[in-house]
Amino acid sequence: MNLPSHIFDFLTEAKANGRKLVFGLVDPDQSKSEGLLGLLQGGSISKLDGFLVGGSFLTKSRIGDVIDLIRQYSKAPVLLFPGHEFQVHPDADGLLLLNLISGRNPEFLIGKHVVAAPMIVESGLEVIPTSYILIDGGRVSSTQYITNTHPIPQDKVDIIVATVLAGALNGHRTTYLEAGSGAYIPIPPSTIAKVAAVISHPLMVGGGIRTLDGVKSAFDAGADVVVLGSILEENPNFLEGL
């Protein structure tokens, strides 16, 4: 089974060249909000290097609508960030196959992947196996609630690093450190640095990053991709500072 790899190549080439990437996370449930439309219609949209599309309560048709909307304003790659096994749509450029290895719920370690696998293969989407690691951001996140898993406490850095290593040993091609949508506390730069030191593949960081200094701190610590979500909805002009 040969699946495309152009998005992963894009990520690894950027990492090799020291180019930092900013992705926008789009929740299709909020796709008609003034904030998102303002972002897409504004000139700063060109500052985004890619999009992640995903949410907790959406349908396949809704995902297609959002992808079409993004395509009207940007040529940047669109990756699915699925919160449900049926959130697969062939119009995307690829899919992050999220393995929630910070939790112990088997449904999000393999169960939902088994259900989705035939649909993913049929779609022809590029698939990027991803260690998805939820870290406490100071509030109960949607991911935590829906998956019935516990985030890793921020002070348990040794456990975070060991979890990242376990994902790498299992062949995951990216790591996503997630503090959760609307997190009060972003992932500390010191933690990002310790994770970046033990992996060679692209490192994505998101959740609670609401300032330009926060973006810079994550990059300086070793993040290859910073994912921005709610701040773009609330302030479409945020990207101008980048």
**Residue 172: pLDDT band by 50, 70, 90 thresholds?**
very high
Structural domain boundaries enclosing 81: 6-234
Q: Does the pLDDT at position 56 exceed 70?
A: no
Go through 203-235 and write b for each residue having 16 or more CB atoms within 10 A of its CB, e for each that does not: bbbbbbbbeeebbebbbebbbbbbbbbbbbbee
Residue 33 lies in a domain: yes
CA Rg, the chain, in Å?
16
Residue 166 CB contacts under 8 Å (≥ 6 apart), including other chains:
101, 131
For residue 188, what pLDDT is reported?
A: 98
Residue 201 CA, chain-centre distance (Å), reads 15
Residue 184 CB contacts under 8 Å (≥ 6 apart), including other chains:
137, 138, 139, 208
Residue 66 lies in a domain: yes
Closest CA to 30 of 2, 62, 68: 62
Contact 218, 189 (CB under 8 A): yes
Q: Does the pLDDT at position 1 exceed 70?
A: no
Q: Does the pLDDT at position 218 exceed 80?
A: yes
Report, as an integer, the average pLDDT of 9-14: 97
- Residue 37: which CATH number? 3.20.20.390
Q: How far is Cα 237 from Cα 43, in angstroms, rounded to an integer?
A: 9
Q: Does the pLDDT at position 183 exceed 60?
A: yes
Residue 141 lies in a domain: yes
Residue 228 lies in a domain: yes
Domains in the chain, number: 1
pLDDT tens per residue, range 154-171: 999 999 999 999 999 999
For residue 60, what pLDDT is reported?
A: 56
Mean pLDDT of the chain: 92
**Residue 37: pLDDT band by 50, 70, 90 thresholds?**
confident
Percent of the chain scoring above 70 in pLDDT:
94
For residue 237, what pLDDT is reported?
A: 85
For residue 31, what pLDDT is reported?
A: 62
Q: Does the pLDDT at position 181 exceed 90?
A: no
Residue 204 lies in a domain: yes
Percent of the chain scoring above 90 in pLDDT:
74
For residue 3, what pLDDT is reported?
A: 56
Q: How far is Cα 237 from Cα 210, in angstroms, rounded to an integer?
A: 12
Residue 239 lies in a domain: no
Residue 1 lies in a domain: no
**The model's pTM:** 0.95
Q: Minimum mean pLDDT among 34-48, 105-119, 142-156, 225-239: which range?
A: 34-48
Report, as an integer, the average pLDDT of 30-38: 70
Residue 240 lies in a domain: no
Contact 229, 198 (CB under 8 A): no
pLDDT tens per residue, range 77-124: 999 999 888 789 999 999 999 999 999 999 999 999 999 999 999 999
